[in-house]
A and B are shown apart, each in its own frame.
Chain A
Amino acid sequence: MDFLVILADAGRGALGPVAAIYALAAIGLNIHFGYTGLLNFGQVAFMLVGAYGVAVTVAVFGGPLWLGVIVGLVAAVVLAFLLGIPTLRLRADYLAIATIAAGEVLRLVFNSGVARPVTGGVFGLQQFAGAFYAVNPIPSGNYGFGRLTFSQRDLWVMLVGWGAVALATLGVFLLVRSPWGRVLRAVRDDEDAARSLGKNVYGYKMQSLVLGGILGALGGMLLAVDAQAVAPNTFNPVVTFYLYALLILGGAGTVLGPVLGSVLFWFLLLFIDSALRQAIGAGYIPDEVISPADVGAVRFALVGLGLMLLLIFRPAGILGDVEEMRLEAGAGATPRRRRRGRKARPAAGKRTDERVGG
Chain B
Amino acid sequence: MTPDPTLADITAEPGVPKPDPLLVLDGVRRDFGGVRAVDVDHLEVQRGVITGLIGPNGAGKTTLFNLLTGFDRGGTGRWTFDGRDVAGMPAHRLARRGMVRTFQLTRVLSRLTVLENMKLAAVGQRGERLLPALLRPVWGAQEADIERRADDLLDRFLLAAKRDDYAGYLSGGQRRLLEMARALMVDPTLVMLDEPMAGVNPALRQDLLGRITDLRDSGRTVLFVEHDMDVVMSISDWVVCMAQGRVIAEGPPARVAGNPAVIDAYLGSQHGADDEQGSEETTS
Contacts and interface: CB of A to CB of B under 8 A. Distances in A.
Nearest to A208: B130
A353 B279 contact: yes
Interface in A150-178: 171, 174-175, 178
A188 B111 CA distance: 9
Given A351-B229, A351-B230, A353-B266, A193 B109 contact: yes
B144 interface: no
A190 B107 contact: yes
A324 B201 CA distance: 27
Interface stretch (A10-18, A62-70, A138-146, A325-333): A325-333
Interface in B142-159: 143
A175 B133 contact: yes
A189 B110 contact: yes
Interface string A185-221: 1101110111111111100000100010000000000
Contact of A174 (B134, B143, B257): B134
Contacts of B169: 327, 332-333
Interface in A322-357: 323-324, 327-328, 330, 332-333, 337, 340-342, 344-346, 348-353, 355-357
A330 B111 CA distance: 10
Interface in B215-261: 227-230, 233, 257
Contact of B227 (A201, A323, A324, A352): A352
A307 to B, nearest CB: 23
A251 interface: no
A344 B120 contact: no
A348 B228 contact: yes
Interface string A271-304: 0000000000000000000000000000000000
A201 B95 CA distance: 13
Nearest to B140: A178
Contacts of A180: 127-130, 133
Given A181-B133, A196-B101, A324-B111, A340 B172 contact: yes
B12 interface: no
Interface string B94-123: 011000111100011111100010011101
B271 to A, nearest CB: 11
A190 B233 CA distance: 33
A199 B182 CA distance: 13
Contacts of B263: 356-357
A348 B95 contact: no
Given A185-B111, A344-B198, A346-B279, A324 B172 contact: no
Contacts of B200: 344
A349 B282 contact: yes
B230 to A, nearest CB: 6
Nearest to A331: B168
A117 interface: no
19 contacts: A174-B134, A175-B133, A179-B125, A185-B109, A189-B109, A190-B109, A190-B110, A193-B107, A195-B71, A195-B92, A196-B95, A197-B185, A198-B95, A200-B90, A211-B130, A332-B169, A348-B197, A348-B227, A355-B233
Given A189-B110, A199-B120, 9 more contacts: A185-B111, A196-B91, A196-B100, A197-B120, A324-B111, A332-B168, A333-B169, A344-B198, A355-B230
Pick the 8 closest A-B CB pairs, nearest first: A349-B283, A180-B133, A179-B127, A198-B95, A327-B168, A178-B133, A355-B229, A341-B199
Interface of B: 69, 71, 90-93, 95-96, 100-103, 107-112, 116, 119-121, 123, 125-130, 133-134, 136, 139, 143, 166, 168-169, 171-172, 182-183, 185-186, 197-201, 227-230, 233, 257, 262-263, 266-267, 270, 279-280, 282-284
